[in-house]
């Protein structure tokens, strides 16, 4: 199942890339939402291969999520692959320069089940795909406006 959104941001691509690849700020954002997130000490501190382990409560159950930065292209975007409970997720952030001070951010999340129980979970998420896409769009839009206010 794939959900995606795009957002046009009134800022240079270099500033947008700096904001979307500020993984320390993204870690703090998750922590404010009650997710415990730690960087893997054995992985590179920056660049491809960087890893995180997160623990979150969702629907009354504790979940462990392992994530790895598998692709990073300066001023273009990155790809993160994560795994939890039989679901492999690929998150892609792609940036396109529209004008010197205008950038389009394309954000997509692809969920792939690997077990029978995770197939049932992903199938139930497909029923809520419209709502999930709308939530992703709202969060991406809020993030875009925050980037614009920082670069203004």
Sequential pLDDT tens for the chain (152 residues): 999 999 999 999 999 999 999 998 888 988 998 899 998 877 777 789 999 999 988 778 888 999 999 999 999 999 999 999 899 999 999 999 999 999 999 999 999 999 998 999 899 999 999 999 999 999 999 999 999 998 87
Structural domains for the chain:
2-151 (3.30.530.20)
- Output the CA angle 120-126-127, nearest 5 degrees: 100
User: pTM of the predicted model, to two decimals?
Assistant: 0.89
Burial class (CB in 10 A: 0-12, 13-18, 19+), 32: exposed
What is the enclosing helix (H) or strand (E) of 88? strand 87-99
Name the residue with tokens 């129980």. 117
pLDDT digits (tens, 9 = 90+) for 99-140: 999 999 999 999 999 999 899 989 999 999 999 999 999 999
């Amino acid at each position: 199942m794939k959900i995606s959104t795009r957002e046009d941001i009134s800022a240079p691509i270099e500033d947008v890339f700096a904001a979307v690849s500020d993984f320390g700020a993204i870690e703090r954002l998750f922590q404010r939402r009650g997710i415990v997130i730690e960087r893997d000490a054995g992985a590179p501190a920056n660049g491809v291969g960087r890893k995180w382990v997160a623990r979150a409560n969702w629907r009354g159950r504790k979940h462990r999520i392992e994530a790895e930065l598998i692709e990073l292209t300066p001023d273009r975007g990155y790809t993160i692959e994560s795994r939890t409970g039989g679901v492999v997720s690929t998150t892609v952030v792609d940036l396109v320069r529209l004008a010197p001070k205008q950038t389009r951010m394309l954000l997509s999340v692809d969920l792939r089940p690997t077990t029978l129980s995770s197939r049932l979970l992903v199938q139930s998420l497909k029923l809520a795909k419209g709502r999930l896409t709308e939530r992703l769009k709202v969060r991406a839009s809020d993030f875009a406006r925050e980037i614009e206010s920082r670069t203004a």
